[in-house]
Amino acid sequence: MEDSKSRLRRILGEEGLAKLEGSTVVVFGLGGVGGSCAEALVRGGIGHLAFVDGDRVCLSNLNRQAIAFQSTIGQTKVDAMCAMARDIYPDVQVEGLVTFVLPENLDEVMGGLPEKIDYIVDAIDTLSAKLAIAQYAQERGIPVISSMGAANKTDPTKLRFADLFKTDHCPLCRAMRKQARAKGLKKLQVLYSSEEPISVAHEEGAARSERTNLGTMSYMPPVMGQMIAGYVIQELLKND
């Protein structure tokens, strides 16, 4: 008889499915990459998820974010993602923190998350916070994968998994490598694009801090999120 996880069970078997249902994954950032990753992790059978994001769904999210609909505009991304997860599998354990992650508040944020964490997904944009998460995970032996930038890139076939120190053609990776060495990070698994970013001019009169030179295709962040979810699930199934 078919049930909501029949298709997973056929591939994973009862043992594999039970392993995923007993795993806990934390997703930092619920934008285009993180939201699609979180959705795929829920649908993929992860039994316990924690979401961290301080933002709300807005109009500009509609072109790429899994949780962005006219009906969710104005909601916190954490609330929207938790509601989506429970709508998929009512028995999934989900919790969320509505906060922006900063290096100075990371210990406090982690204190509000599950004590046992099997994997961390970093899908946030802020360089200093990404480095803080990577360092925290390294010091505690928690597996982590970090999403690099999808802005101004259009070719999903150029997406690659690699160690941060072996990446190319990614401005965010370049900036992270420099600071990662200074902080003593030895390695960091990332998903990045080897495509040269398209040059986009800032809007006339806009401050550079408004980042009007960054555009995003509808499919790039979701593809990245799905790839990261697949990577995490495969890694969890490998571990004893």
Give the strand pairing for 189-193 and 144-147: parallel
pLDDT band at 1 (very low <50, low <70, confident <90, very high): confident
pLDDT of amino acid 215: 82
d(CA 141, CA 105): 20
pTM attached to this predicted model = 0.93
> Which structural domain range is residue 139 located in?
22-238
CA distances from 206 to 41, 125, 201, 211, 214 (A): 38, 20, 10, 8, 12
% of the chain exceeding 90 in pLDDT: 82
Residue type, 8: L
Q: For position 201, which CATH number holds?
A: 3.40.50.720
Q: Identify whether 9 is part of a domain.
A: no
Q: Identify whether 206 is part of a domain.
A: yes
d(CA 175, CA 146): 14
Residue type, 164: L
* Core vs surface per residue 200-212: b (16+ CB within 10 A) or e: eeeeeeeeeeeee
Q: Identify whether 93 is part of a domain.
A: yes
Q: Identify whether 157 is part of a domain.
A: yes
The strand ranges marked E within 29-87 are: 48-52
pLDDT of amino acid 150: 82
Q: Is residue 209 scored above 80 in pLDDT?
A: no
Total tally of structural domains belonging to the chain:
1
Q: Identify whether 45 is part of a domain.
A: yes
Q: Identify whether 178 is part of a domain.
A: yes
Q: Is residue 213 scored above 80 in pLDDT?
A: no
Q: Identify whether 126 is part of a domain.
A: yes
